[in-house]
Structure 1
Amino acid sequence: MASPEKAAALARMKLLATGLLVAVTVLFVFARREGLPWLAAFAEAAMIGAMADWFAVVALFRRPLGLPIPHTAILPRNKARLADNLAVFIRDKFLDTHSLVGRLRAANPAERIAAWLQDERNARLLADRLAVVAVQSLDFMDDRRVRRLVLHALRRRAGDLDLAGTVGRVLNLLTEDRRHQGLLDDGLSKLADWLGQPGVQQGFAGMIVDVANKEYPKIVAMLGLVGINPAELGEKVANGIVTGVNGLLAEVANDPNHPRRAAFDEVIHRYIERLQHDEGFRARIEQAKRDFLAHPGVGTYLQGLWEDLRGWLASDLAKPDSRVRRKIASAASAIGASLATNPALRDSVNEHIEQSVEALAPELREGLSRHIAGTVRAWNDEDLVREIEQSVGRDLQFIRLNGTLVGGLIGLVLYAVTHLIS
């Protein structure tokens, strides 16, 4: 909507132009009564010029005096064509892909982003804005209907997942270049370290003694009679078991061709084959997956997990010294520093931005063009006329002023020429 200042300025210019018309009309009457032909010629031509230009200016916006004169009220009558032409003009002159990419390249957005992010205040501002978005997202996700929809979507997507085939493909990938043997080596090393811990050996010894007391109480009693401590015996047996197992683990780890490795290969390949081609095995896995997803406890667990996560995030984001905000601000500053010191990274960011603009520009141009045309078409005729007239009408009133004065001068010249010829 045009400002009141523009409306007031237009009214003043209209009053001035109309006042000048009234003035030359009075001057014409006075000159004719007093017998002043030169002045009358000037005033008469000025009147004609003023009224002609008044008609021309008014005809742009409405019908002069409300009369159905052809080719008047030009703007409201041609609103649709005006809307289309304006949209095409903006689309072709301001939004063509080449111009957009050129302006973007000249702006060097990566360098501007780097400078902006390196300012600590901007990094904190970005963190604060993202925190607001996060809080609003949490509030949105807290809606019971949204939670139900998300849970349903997760279950549906998980239900559509070919679990057996996916596991088979993962295992097949792990076996390429014997990578699974590396995993076996790591597992053997971790198991050997665990078995070597004193607490583990003591635990085994205690388990052996407990089992012996429950299953073979008489034998344990006889050991006591002959002076053998069952606890010490259990510890020796546990140490022997651990030593034997560690020896086997070391043997497998140090021999790339050990039979246990071949057996491990066979087990892995057999499971891959069954996961990919054994329909009965695949069906059992799918049924187990469906039973798991349908269990009420799964939904309860996921909801509880979400509540815990949401509660922690909401509590942290509400604090002035929020850890999440600090992490976001720190990450933003780090990104800015990397962009500032790494020309290759800046070039990469600029190239990706330019590629995105090139890909989106045609759709953006057409969409914005349709939006402009549709918006102008939807305007009320009176609103359109008022907006345009208040925007440019003040300048158009100078046409009336110039028409009055120039018309009068032309009339004076014509009168002089006619008088000299006669």
Structure 2
Amino acid sequence: MVKQEKKSRYLAGISLAVMGAGFLMTIPFHDSFWGRLLQGGFEAGLVGGLADWFAVTALFRHPLGIPIPHTALLPNNRDRVTRSLTRMIEEEWLTKESIMGKISQIQFTERVLQIIESELGKSTVKKALQTLISEAVKAVDTEKLAPPLEKELKSYMSSVDAGSVIEKATNHILEKKYDEKAMDHVLEELGKWAAKDESKLALGKMGKQLIETTEADGLLKFAIQSFSQLVNEEKIGQMLQTFIQNRIRNVSKHDNAYRQLILERTKEEITNLPARQDLMADINEWKGQVVEGLEISGQIQKFLESAKGRLLSVIEGESFVLVYVNPVICRFIDSIKANEERITLIEEWVHKQVVDAIEKNHSKIGRLVKENLDKYDTETLIDMMENNIGKDLQWIRVNGAVCGFFIGLVLTVFKTFF
């Protein structure tokens, strides 16, 4: 670009020099027709070249350094030129209406979604998402998070009605026949206990004590004393052990009447348990006291720290973004694309934000141009303008000399014959 600039300047100077030299060289041949013709052409070309040189130079500086009026137009009118340029850019080239017109043609949502879809598979985006999510998890302060979680957990536990919980529990117990299973378990354990020798001795000792301490009168007292003398603790224990084991075996049978009676009574008590308002009130009060007394903030924090560590391990895995993040983003994008109403709302919102930004900041375009122009002193600014448009201006000088030459030829011919 600089070489072309210098070439055009040299060419303009050469054209002017050629015209001047040609004019001087044709003076001796002024008497001949061809001499007058060429002299007229060179003379007109010299005048045209000098006039255009003066005009071009007068834009940027005083020709030959002489302060001729109405020269050095740009330096002397810098403020006016700056204002005109700023106003032209702001009010004619980049008007609010023209910018808004172009903006209204842009489908932001469609373009953004396309960009997101095309970028999702790239390793840089994968790494960025991984880092972003990882840093977000690391930023979670479990120490600050534990107390509000404890408060919410206690609030929820306090709000739970014990009656509804117990009702669900009793229904589940009866549905799964846990009452029968519990009875069978008790009978089984009782049978194991009754079969032990130490149990037999304990039963015999208690039976003997019962006989000896029983108060009676008359014949009944005589009968009890006689029976006590006939049996010892071992025999009484054997009798009671056999009795208990027989009863356990009988009650363990599913068709046993006593078993059915016990189970019916048990089911009745279990079913009516939630309806006992006084008991439910006591349980709720006890539950509230227990909940208020719980100190689980430390346990919650430990759980959160453990969960945080496990989550970070998953996030740092090679397939985390591909398996967990990208599908979520793709489903979200598909849901937006499938909903024309949502896309329209998003577009309207985005365009409104852009329009508002243009309304608020359009005047800054002119100020920005002015600020950038004001950064340069006059000499530097003029030099920049001359370097950028100088090539075309130099061609004006060349064209002036060439056109003047041909016009001079025409005028000389006209003068000669007319």
- For the Cα contact (< 8 Å) 2:103–2:351, is it kept in 1? yes
What amino acid is aligned across from residue 120 of structure 2 in structure 1? Answer: R
- Distance in 2, Cα, partners of 1:393 & 1:335: 56
Deviation at 1:21, TM superposition (A): 0.7
- Distance in 1, Cα, partners of 2:354 & 2:166: 53
Are 1:375 and 2:356 an aligned pair?
no
- Distance in 2, Cα, partners of 1:10 & 1:38: 33
1:365 to 353, 362, 367: 362
- Distance in 1, Cα, partners of 2:64 & 2:2: 21
- Distance in 2, Cα, partners of 1:32 & 1:299: 108
- Secondary structure (helix, strand or coil) at the match of 2:362 reads helix
Deviation at 1:191, TM superposition (A): 6.0
1:356 to 323, 335, 353: 353
- For the Cα contact (< 8 Å) 1:62–1:73, is it kept in 2? yes
What amino acid is aligned across from residue 348 of structure 2 in structure 1? Answer: E
- Secondary structure (helix, strand or coil) at the match of 2:26 reads helix
- Distance in 2, Cα, partners of 1:84 & 1:349: 39
- Describe the shift of the 1:311–1:411 C-alpha distance in structure 2 as closer, same or farther (beyond 3 A): farther
Query: What's the TM-score once normalised by structure 1's chain length?
Result: 0.56
Q: Who is 1:14 aligned against?
A: 9
- Distance in 1, Cα, partners of 2:369 & 2:49: 36
- Distance in 1, Cα, partners of 2:164 & 2:63: 94
Structure 1 runs not aligned, ≥5 long: 1-5, 172-179, 210-220, 230-236, 253-258, 272-284, 286-291
Q: Who is 2:20 aligned against?
A: 25
What amino acid is aligned across from residue 124 of structure 1 in structure 2? Answer: L
- Superposition pairs of residues 232-311 of structure 1, within 5 angstroms: 247-249=272-274
- Distance in 2, Cα, partners of 1:193 & 1:79: 94
Q: Who is 1:42 aligned against?
A: 41
- For the Cα contact (< 8 Å) 1:123–1:332, is it kept in 2? no
- Distance in 2, Cα, partners of 1:243 & 1:61: 112
Query: What's the TM-score once normalised by structure 2's chain length?
Result: 0.56
Residues 21-68 of structure 1: CA distance to partner in whole angstroms, max 9, x if unpaired?
Answer: 111111110112321334323222222221222232233344544555
Q: Who is 2:343 aligned against?
A: 346
What amino acid is aligned across from residue 9 of structure 1 in structure 2? Answer: Q
- Distance in 2, Cα, partners of 1:94 & 1:187: 75
- Distance in 2, Cα, partners of 1:74 & 1:142: 65
- Distance in 1, Cα, partners of 2:102 & 2:367: 23
Question: Identity across aligned pairs (percent)?
Answer: 22
RMSD: 5.9
Provide the aligned length of Structure 1 versus Structure 2: 341
Structure 2 runs not aligned, ≥5 long: 190-201, 207-236, 246-261
- Secondary structure (helix, strand or coil) at the match of 1:352 reads helix
What amino acid is aligned across from residue 52 of structure 1 in structure 2? Answer: A
- Distance in 2, Cα, partners of 1:359 & 1:185: 59
Deviation at 1:335, TM superposition (A): 4.7
- Distance in 1, Cα, partners of 2:11 & 2:136: 63
What amino acid is aligned across from residue 362 of structure 2 in structure 1? Answer: R
Deviation at 1:411, TM superposition (A): 4.5
- Describe the shift of the 1:391–1:70 C-alpha distance in structure 2 as closer, same or farther (beyond 3 A): same
Q: Who is 1:101 aligned against?
A: 100
- Distance in 1, Cα, partners of 2:68 & 2:167: 99
- Superposition pairs of residues 56-67 of structure 1, within 5 angstroms: 56-67=55-66
Are 1:92 and 2:91 an aligned pair?
yes
- Distance in 1, Cα, partners of 2:361 & 2:349: 17
- Distance in 2, Cα, partners of 1:88 & 1:341: 46
- For the Cα contact (< 8 Å) 2:314–2:320, is it kept in 1? no
Higher mean alpha-carbon deviation, 304-313 vs 327-336, is at 304-313
Structure showing greater radius of gyration is: 2
- Distance in 1, Cα, partners of 2:98 & 2:272: 73
- Distance in 2, Cα, partners of 1:89 & 1:56: 24
Deviation at 1:73, TM superposition (A): 4.5
1:401 to 374, 398, 403: 398
- Distance in 2, Cα, partners of 1:404 & 1:111: 58
- For the Cα contact (< 8 Å) 1:9–1:394, is it kept in 2? yes
